[in-house]
Amino acid sequence: MSRWEELWSSGETPWEKGRAAPPLSEYLEQGDTVLHRARHVLVPGCGSGHDVRELARHGIAATGLDLAATAIATARAREAVGSEDYVEGDLFDEAWRAGRELDAVWEHTCFCAIDPALRPDYARTMAEIVPPGGYLVGVFYLNPWDPGEDATGPPHGATQEEIAGLLEPWFVLRENRVPGRAYPGREGKEWLAVFERR
């Protein structure tokens, strides 16, 4: 059993906020974003699927991927709101991708969850999933620790420069800002970035 499945099955899910990421809602409320224009959006490390359902509520077809069977079962148990589905699998394993046509990614707390040694693999995987002209849109949790919390991770922190540098061989940074909305405690700690695949 993976460490993530252990956490999910024992109910140790401090990241679970019961609603979609506020920066995603804020971004989608702009209307006509690159995610609205995508044919099918992947949400890696989707957990119980709040962000997947938020995309679906905006009429966007979305697939949530998670390593943990309990996360996927929890997501599937929620009432569907549009064109969404869920798949259990490891982001770094190609098997779950078979037969899926994806052209965009919404990233939220997957990047900070993975081992930093795998970040180059994360960037390469994003480049394999998103075709040229497609988009990786993400809210990156740069300083994911509460005061006094053990910073050994996961979650693991990052800088804007590190993320942009990892993706640079395949992606152009088109837009970025600190989101106006955040879960309580995350204000000012996140970075919203829109990357276009070269």
Ligand X SMILES: C[S@@+](CC[C@H](N)C(=O)[O-])C[C@H]1O[C@@H](n2cnc3c(N)ncnc32)[C@H](O)[C@@H]1O
Residue 185 backbone zone (phi > 0: left; psi -120 to 50: alpha; other: beta)? left
Handedness of CA 34, 29, 176, 45 (dihedral sign): negative
Q: Which residue has the tokens 């709101």?
A: 81
Between CA 107 and CA 162 the distance in angstroms is 16
**Does the protein bind ligand X through residue 92 (CB under 6 A)?**
yes
Can you tell me which of 56, 60, 65, 130 binds ligand X, judged by CB under 6 A? 65
**Does the protein bind ligand X through residue 144 (CB under 6 A)?**
no
Nearer to ligand X, 15 or 132 (CB): 15
Smallest separation (angstroms) from ligand X to the CB of 112: 7
**Does the protein bind ligand X through residue 84 (CB under 6 A)?**
no
3-state secondary structure of 196: strand
Q: How many CA atoms lie within 13 A of 174 on its CB side?
A: 15
Can you tell me which of 28, 41, 42, 114 binds ligand X, judged by CB under 6 A? 114
**Does the protein bind ligand X through residue 167 (CB under 6 A)?**
no
Residue ranges in 14-43 that form contacts with ligand X under rule CB under 6 A: 15-16
Q: Which residues bind ligand X (CB under 6 A)?
A: 4, 15-16, 44-47, 65-68, 71, 90-92, 108-110, 113-114
